Amino acid sequence: MVISYKISDNTKEKMIEYYADKKRPKTPDYAIFQADEAGTVVTLYQSGKVVFQGVSADIDANMWKEQEAFLNNGKLPEESKKKEKKKKDEFELAEERKKYYHINSIGSDEVGTGDYFGPIVVTASFVTTDDIMFLEDLGVRDSKKLTDEKILKVVPEIIKRIPYESVIYTNEEYNNNDTNMNKIKAKLHNKAILSLLKKDNYNYDKVVIDQFCYPKNYFDYLKDENNVYRKIDFTTKAEDKCLSVACGSLISRYIFIKEMQKISRAINMAVPKGAGTKVDEFGKELVKKQGKDILKKIAKLNFKNTEKILKD
């Protein structure tokens, strides 16, 4: 049995004192000591990690966990760090949201890039401050928490009010062109934004994209394009900060679901999402029934799934 966790400096001192006369003569690299305690070998590392090995490892590990909790208000260091990181992340998100939430914005987001089956869909949408309450009532602020079933109900309401432009990149297009995913995304985002801007003279403060690469690389991917929109705010977790990006994500997801339903009807089989083992199993069954050429039409052939599906 092996159990390990991190401890605080004050518990380190207690352990060093406790095992002073139980230490082994040789110490592993980066360890403060290694000691024997009945049926347990205890190794304390400079990083604060402690490892308990042996038949009674759980007994000694629990003993020192209790000591750690006693010395640190009932918390292990990793638990405290997780809470601190969560608070920090929440604070930073709130600060970033101030820049992107209560503004008129155009936001663009994509889906389908991690799915073996189905197209890539990118949508740019325009949201004003007058739309905030309407979108919040629909649950758009927490868009990541919406299920596919909820999206199918909510998005028809969104598209009645929110201007948007979507670009669908089929798998046939994907398989016949450059499969650099970031380059594809850059081109599709640029196309969606420019297409939306052609519809009307929108009064927007910012254009926002969830950052999937460095801005310099984004524009390098577009160097051969005739028209490139350049005044973009790239930010991580944009879907959580900016309602227009959240709308772009939901509309893209809605279209993706509908496209997957079309594919399922066309091949008379329910096509799974993602790129996991279920997709591999489905792909093997599909190829048995309809031949491997079907993958050229509905799958991204450069994904590792193809090799697994076609493997004998």
Residue 55's pLDDT band (cuts 50, 70, 90): confident
Joined tokens for residue 260: 């997957």
Residue 141's pLDDT band (cuts 50, 70, 90): confident
Mean pLDDT of all residues belonging to the chain:
92
Which of the pair, 94 or 248, is modelled with greater confidence? Answer: 248
Residue 86's pLDDT band (cuts 50, 70, 90): low
Instruction: Say how far apart CA 45 and CA 35 lie, in whole Å.
Output: 12
Q: Any idea which of 11-15, 122-126, 140-144, 187-191 has the lowest mean pLDDT?
A: 140-144
pLDDT of residue 288: 95
Query: What is each CA distance from 141 to 46, 91, 121, 149, 309, in whole angstroms?
Result: 44, 17, 21, 17, 38
Reply yes or no on whether the pLDDT at 57 is more than 80.
yes
Torsion, Cα of 158, 164, 167, 168 (10° steps)? 10
Whose tokens are 């934004």? That residue is 193
Reply yes or no on whether the pLDDT at 58 is more than 70.
yes
Q: CA angle, 262 as apex, 259 and 267 as ends, to 5°?
A: 130
pLDDT of residue 172: 96
Across 171-181, average pLDDT: 94
The full set of domains in the chain, from first to last, is 2-75 (3.30.310.10), 103-258 (3.30.420.10)
Count of all residues that appear for the chain in the document? 312
Residue 229's pLDDT band (cuts 50, 70, 90): very high
Long-range pairs, 47-50, Cβ under 8 A, ≥24: 47/6, 48/6, 48/7, 48/8, 48/9, 48/12, 48/77, 49/4, 49/5, 49/6, 49/7, 50/4, 50/5, 50/6, 50/7, 50/15
Across 125-139, average pLDDT: 96
Instruction: Say how far apart CA 135 and CA 140 lie, in whole Å.
Output: 5
Q: What is the percentage of the chain residues whose pLDDT exceeds 90?
A: 74
pLDDT of residue 166: 98
Q: Please tell me the pTM assigned to this model.
A: 0.74
Reply yes or no on whether the pLDDT at 81 is more than 80.
no
Residue 68's pLDDT band (cuts 50, 70, 90): confident
Across 37-64, average pLDDT: 90
Across 3-15, average pLDDT: 88
pLDDT of residue 84: 65
Q: What is the pLDDT of residues 240-278, one digit of tens each?
A: 999 999 999 999 999 999 999 999 999 999 999 999 999
Instruction: Say how far apart CA 156 and CA 278 lie, in whole Å.
Output: 30
pLDDT of residue 165: 98
Joined tokens for residue 216: 């310099």
Q: How many CB atoms lie within 10 A of CB 74?
A: 9
Burial class (CB in 10 A: 0-12, 13-18, 19+), 181: middle
Q: Any idea which of 46-55, 148-157, 273-282, 292-301 has the lowest mean pLDDT?
A: 46-55
Instruction: Say how far apart CA 40 and CA 60 lie, in whole Å.
Output: 7
